[in-house]
A and B are shown apart, each in its own frame.
Chain A
């Protein structure tokens, strides 16, 4: 580890913990957007400490949202998810290339290839059973979850070089890619959502992305 990295860690003993927290937020967002809500996800959301944290982050589902029977709620959310993100009709495409391809934005555009290569170069593989598109919003959140987790592990074992490497990859991915299309995806989701669930969580995603962009720009990788 270089001197600068040492001094940062010395100054902020919570550094590995904060990185772990970032990873968990990305993980949560990945599980929200990757597929239809599962019972496990709803269980987590209903956990009091987590609900309180959600509320602190400005997320409000309304007081009676979770009052309806669990099965009915899952059903309604599945319908909402499909209507919003799968189609048919005027849905909100959850794929980067649609937003980054300019006026003719389409599935499997150059940015899809970029994401796939970027993720592979960072040392990850798509599971063979995954048949979706490589630039799905859920995949991209999950990628950031893994990278930040990797960074936290490096910080925990005081490996400043590996930590800085992870930070470089995160910064590049967010600034060159994710932050360029996610806000628009979130805006459209919030606009079209009929239930507070996806509207609120898209708002959370947008806010978190803003915060991440600022954070990554303010503390460059070299400072790790």
Chain B
């Protein structure tokens, strides 16, 4: 048998010979399939390529729109993006349909007849803006700007700065609602309590092991394509090992090495039991031990490592795998196995999303998951769970002398709803308006938001929006006629995202900020106008000019002001290239360890808080004097976190984990004095879900999810996407179905304390027993013909494909069933807690 060395000797001998040349292959001059170009299949001509940015979901990927004959014909990935690396998901590609939806609103429309009756007339922009400006000016001049409530769903980066900070700031209302509490606000609060500014990036480029609690990140994620393609690559090319805990076999669970079915709302129990295994088996030693220096696990932040370990072991001692097995249904040995693998494979990343956190106990589930990362040293490290890095744009701030803004106290729910709703409670806003005790807006305007459809308790949303005694005047800013627009008094036709300007800043998985712009790929159709431009004009009409006339001017000025972009060529560079990142920037890891210079500690107003070891600048807080600041201390001075400078740990002063929204110290706080002050357990603790505890025999838990080709509520008008996904039967386990005499395809009734809906059963073992899983996206009753089979007022018939729409089933909407109930700590809408009965019709 010839050995390898003998073969290689042959290679060594031939090195001196000129082996026959000729050959067949040559190095390619350019890599094929680089992207960024497209050709007409009819004429063969290259299509105009316009760098822009997606807006289908919050990921906002850099994109390229391809234009042929003045028409947008295709959207593709941006090859120069370090976030997407040229990838683009189906939702992004389907964006073409947003522009040319035949049911799009192209003119300002004013209600005639009763609200919600569906009778409209076209009016001019001048008439529309005269009416809006007249009403807003009167409120402001009467001293009640807060009675103008502005409520947005998706508003980010330059749109947020222009509309919220500059326009609404100059106007003087802070009655500004968002939608974060129906999204993942609870996750953010838990992160603010632990490591400060919210958002976790998962470094799949370097991770070797992933534990996933309830994230379907291959299909839906707030940073979807940048995250999903990296995870897929790591799984395929690097044999990354991944274990997913989920009630449902999502495609992410299916692509994991292992799907571990788990009872709904019990992820926190498993996370705590994993922490128990890691601490009791001393698997925290090494990286975890080193990281614990930067953590707070005890009331006294200066505790020694031994003290921290002792407290943690004691706290976790009752959270055994056997205890967690009883609660979660996950085998105790499996919990041990995953805990050991997670703790001993370096680096490892623990990930989580709504499956784990949109529950009554979601806040502490996320805190327990943060603890899991902390005790294994997988925080802010290559391959771990990292604090997010995004672009930092400069922008024109508008008039210097802004009024002291006023607000109606209707953004954070009723007293007692939630202790720390740091991202507010948008799902409680309409209830607050209905209640009326905290006041009601006279003008309620919503932008890129679907208050009727996106929240729970749909019927109540409809009832409140319809009632003129509760909301005297309503304005909807929207390119489309959805369920909420149908209830407005005035509709301002917004430009789609492919017809407008923005600068963008979404988180980069590379830990290096990516700067990018959105520019119009085509001109707005009809009389549609970007609402940013509309705000500029409204401001002029109200005698409060903003210092720029259009969003384009705002973006141009931002480009000239932002370091790096300016030197690269400013606005013109961004128009041509779409994206920019600093080629010299290094990925941001371990920034909490950075030493802080004495100069910063000696700056005017900076004082040391002895109790926590925090250096902070009291000028930036609400304290009136240094004495007051010192006396109240960092923890109890309002807005003290805004003045955070550094954290003293032992003899060193480091950057630490900078707080946001709450006065936590610069430690990664797993022991939260803030939680303790509010009457909750300071260390992450498992609490069961009251509704689940009180379930009667035969009842099921409703769980909801998203699929890869739709966004939550604003993509069902896209025909390419809705052709793929338009029907959403309820997934039900064969055992659960059999007990109710339900067979696959049967019509079923799903009834909750709030409402009931009818759908069909999909009997499948891909969901745990005791649960019914119904996806979002479907069941529209407006939003045009592709979404609902219903033509919008003033819709056109110029889309020949309307005749080719073959599907009749538009699916069902689970939100009718879901109460607008909050997590008692952070206020997050508890999307996954609803108890229902399911019967065959």
Q: Quick check: which of B19-27, B167-175, B296-304, B426-434 contacts chain A, the rest being far away? A: B19-27
In the bound complex, do residue A123 and residue B7 qualify as a contact, i.e. CB atoms below 8 Å apart?
no
**Interface-forming stretch among A80-88, A91-99, A105-113, A138-146?**
A138-146
Q: List B contacts of A142 (CB < 8 A).
A: 23-25
In contact, A50 and B17 (Cβ under 8 angstroms)? yes
Contact check, B20 vs A41: say whether CB atoms are below 8 A apart: yes
Given contacts A24-B10, A25-B11, A123-B28, contact A44 B19 (CB under 8 A): yes
CB distance from A203 to the nearest CB of B (A): 9
Q: Are B13 and A52 in contact (CB under 8 A)?
A: yes
Inter-subunit contact A123/B24 (CB<8 Å)? no
Flag if A25 contacts B25 (CB, 8 Å).
no
- Determine if A156 is an interface residue (Cβ-Cβ < 8 Å): no
B14 touches A50 (CB 8 A): yes
Interface size on A, residues (CB 8 A): 51
Assess the A208–B7 pair: CB atoms within 8 A: yes
Decide yes or no whether B15 CB sits under 8 A from chain A: yes
Q: Are A120 and B32 in contact (CB under 8 A)?
A: yes
Identify the interface centre among B9, B10, B27: most chain A CB within 10 Å of its CB: B10
A155 within 8 A of B: no
Q: Does B12 contact A (CB under 8 A)?
A: yes
Nearest CB in chain A to that of B31: its residue: A123
The answer, yes or no, to whether B724 is at the interface (CB within 8 Å) is: no
CA distance A58 to B238 in the complex (A): 37
Residues of A within 8 A of B31 (CB): 123
Shortest beta-carbon distance from A36 to chain B in Å: 11
Q: Does B401 contact A (CB under 8 A)?
A: no
| Residue from B14, B23, B29, B237 having most chain A Cβ neighbours under 10 A | B14
Which residues of B have CB within 8 Å of A119?
25
Question: In the docked arrangement, what's the CA distance between A40 and B391, Å?
Answer: 60
Contact (A21, B25) CB under 8 Å given A56-B6, A208-B7, A215-B4: no
Q: Do B24 and A57 have beta carbons less than 8 Å apart?
A: no
Residue of B nearest to A49 (CB): B13
Which residues on B sit within 8 Å (CB–CB) of A47?
13, 17
Q: CA–CA, A49 to B15, complex, Å?
A: 11
Q: Are A20 and B11 in contact (CB under 8 A)?
A: yes
A155 to nearest B CB, angstroms?
Answer: 15
Q: How large is the interface on B (under 10, 10 to 19, 20 to 34, 35 or more residues)?
A: 20 to 34
B127 within 8 A of A: no
A136-B25 Cα distance, complex, nearest whole Å? 12
Q: Does B43 contact A (CB under 8 A)?
A: no
Give the distance to chain B from A21, nearest Cβ to Cβ, in Å.
3
Task: Tell me if A124 and B20 are in contact (CB < 8 A).
Answer: no
Chain A, 164-196, CB within 8 A of any chain B CB? 168
- Taking CB atoms and an 8 Å cut-off, the chain A residues in 49-64 that contact chain B are 49-50, 52-54, 56-58
Given A44-B19, A57-B7, A207-B2, decide whether A121 and B14 contact each other with a Cβ distance below 8 A. Answer: no
- Please tell me if A7 contacts chain B, counting CB pairs below 8 Å: no
Partner of B10, one of A30, A35, A50: A50
Instruction: Indicate if B8 sits at the interface (CB-CB under 8 A).
Output: yes
B residues within 8 A CB of A136?
24
| B14 contacts A25, C-beta separation under 8 Å | yes
Contact B8 A18 (CB under 8 A): yes
Q: How far is the CB of A211 from chain B (nearest CB, A)?
A: 5
Pairwise interchain contact A168-B237, C-beta atoms closer than 8 A: yes
In the bound complex, how far is the Cα of B4 from the Cα of A100, in angstroms?
A: 27
Minimum distance in angstroms from B118 CB to a CB of chain A = 53
Does A31 lie within 8 Å of B6, measured CB to CB? no
- In the assembly, what is the distance between CA of A143 and CA of B25, in Å? 7
Is A125 among interface residues, defined by CB-CB distance under 8 A? yes
Assess A21 versus B19: contact at CB under 8 Å? Given A57-B2, A123-B27: no
User: Is A25 a contact of B27 with CB atoms below 8 Å?
Assistant: no
**Contact A54:B10 (CB < 8 A) given known A20-B15, A123-B31, A211-B4:** yes
Given A49-B16, A56-B6, A123-B31: A22 in contact with B26 (beta carbons within 8 A): no
Cα separation A113 to B4 with both chains bound (whole Å): 32
Give the chain A neighbours of B8 by CB distance below 8 A. Answer: 18, 21-22, 25
* Chain B 485-527 residues near chain A, CB threshold 8 A: none
14 CB contacts below 8 A, A to B, read A23-B11, A25-B8, A27-B19, A30-B23, A35-B22, A40-B18, A44-B14, A44-B20, A53-B12, A56-B2, A56-B9, A58-B2, A146-B27, A207-B2
- Give residues in B with beta carbon < 8 Å to A: 2-4, 6-20, 22-29, 31-33, 237-238
**9 cross-chain pairs, A with B, having the tightest CB-CB distances, nearest first:** A21-B11, A24-B11, A31-B20, A53-B13, A21-B8, A25-B11, A24-B14, A53-B10, A124-B25
- List 12 additional contacts besides A25-B10, A123-B28, A208-B7; criterion CB under 8 Å: A21-B10, A27-B14, A50-B13, A52-B13, A53-B14, A56-B9, A57-B6, A57-B10, A124-B27, A125-B27, A127-B23, A215-B4
